[in-house]
Amino acid sequence: MNPHPSSCSNGRSIRTRFARRFLRALKKIGSKGSSSRPSPRDISWRCRRVKIAADASMASAVGPRRVWSRTMLNMLRSRSHACLHASRLGNSRRPGADRHAVGKRKRLVLKRKLPNRLGLNQVNQLRRLVPGGEAMDLDILLDETAHYIKCLATQVKVMRSIVDYCSA
C-alpha cells in the first residue's frame, strides 16, 4: 500500500491500483451497452458511469486513509443507492442530479466575483472543490488538497494513456 499518506509519491502503486480498478469498471460498462448507435441518453449515462467509475476506482485505490477519498466513497455509495431507488421509480432522477450539479457549479462561479477578504473566498471554494473539505481545518485542507491534486493528476494520466491506447 502507499507508505506515504501525505503524498502520492508512490504514484506507481496508486497508479496501478487505480488503473486496474478502472479498467475493470470500464469492462463492466462496456459490456452493458453494445449497440452501435446508442441513444444520446445512453451515451450520457455511460459517460457518467465512466466518470463515476473513475472517481470510485481512484478513491478506493487511495483507500480510507484520506478524508477526501472517504468522503468520495460515501458520496458515491449514497448516490448509487439513490440511483438504485430512482431506477426503481424511473430513470428520471439521473439527469436531474446532473443538472443539479451543473447548477451548483454555476453558483460557485458567481460567488467567485465577490470581493476577496483574507483569501476566505478562495478557501471556501477550495473546500467545495475537494470532497469532504467542508469540515476541515485549513492546514488539513491544504494537505488533502495536495494529495487530491496528485491523485487527480495520476487519474488523468492513466485515463489519457488508456484513450491513446484504445484510439491508436
Partner 1 sequence: MSFPQLQKFSIAAARRFSFVFYIEYSSTRTSLLPSLPEKYDFRNTNPSAQQMSSINKHEENPQITPFETPSNDDFFEKMLSAIPNCCWPNLSSSPKFSWDANLGHHTALKSRDRFCPAVDDPDATSVDCHLDEAALLDSASKLSDHQINGVDSSVPKSFLLQQQLLFSKGVGGGVGAEVFSGGYSGLLALPLSLANGDSVDSRLLDDRSKHGSAEALYNGIPGSLHGNGETFHHRKAGRLPVQNYETPTVTVQIQSHGGASPGGTGTVLQKQRVRARRGQATDPHSIAERLRRERIAERMKALQELVPNTSKTDKASMLDEIIDYVKFLQLQVKVLSMSRMGGAAVEAPLVADISSQVADAGWRRNAAQTAAVGANDNLSVAEHQVAKLMEEDMGSAMQYLQGKGLCLMPISLATAFSTTTTYCNPITDNPHHQSSSNGGTSGGGNNHNNPLLASNRETPASPSLSALTVQSSAVGKGEGGGADAHVNDSTYAPKPC
Question: In the complex, which residues of this chain contact partner 1 (CB under 8 A)?
Answer: 26, 38, 40-41, 43-44, 46-47, 50-51, 53-55, 102, 105-106, 109, 112, 116, 119, 122-123, 125-126, 129-130, 137-139, 142-143, 145-146, 148-150, 152-153, 155-156, 159-160, 162-164, 166-168
1-6: list long-range contacts, CB under 8 Å, 24+ apart.
1/63, 2/62, 2/63, 2/65, 5/65, 5/66, 5/147, 6/143, 6/146, 6/147
Q: How far is the CB of 109 from partner 1 (least distance, A)?
A: 5
Comparison of 3 and 88: residue with beta carbon closer to partner 1? 3
What does the longest C-alpha to C-alpha distance in the chain come to? Answer: 54
Tell me whether residue 10 or residue 85 sits nearer to partner 1 (CB atom): 10
CA dist., res. 53 & res. 147, Å (int): 19
* DSSP line for 57-83: HHHHHH-TTSHHHHHHHHHHHHHHHHH
Q: Which is nearer to partner 1, 85 or 103 (CB)?
A: 103
Q: Which helix (H) or strand (E) holds 161?
A: helix 138-167
Q: Which CB atom, from 74 or from 124, has the smaller least distance to partner 1? A: 124
**Closest to partner 1 by CB, 85 or 107:** 107
Q: Which three cell numbers stand for residue 12?
A: 506507481
Shortest Å, Cβ 99 to partner 1: 9
Lookup result for grid cell 506507481: 12
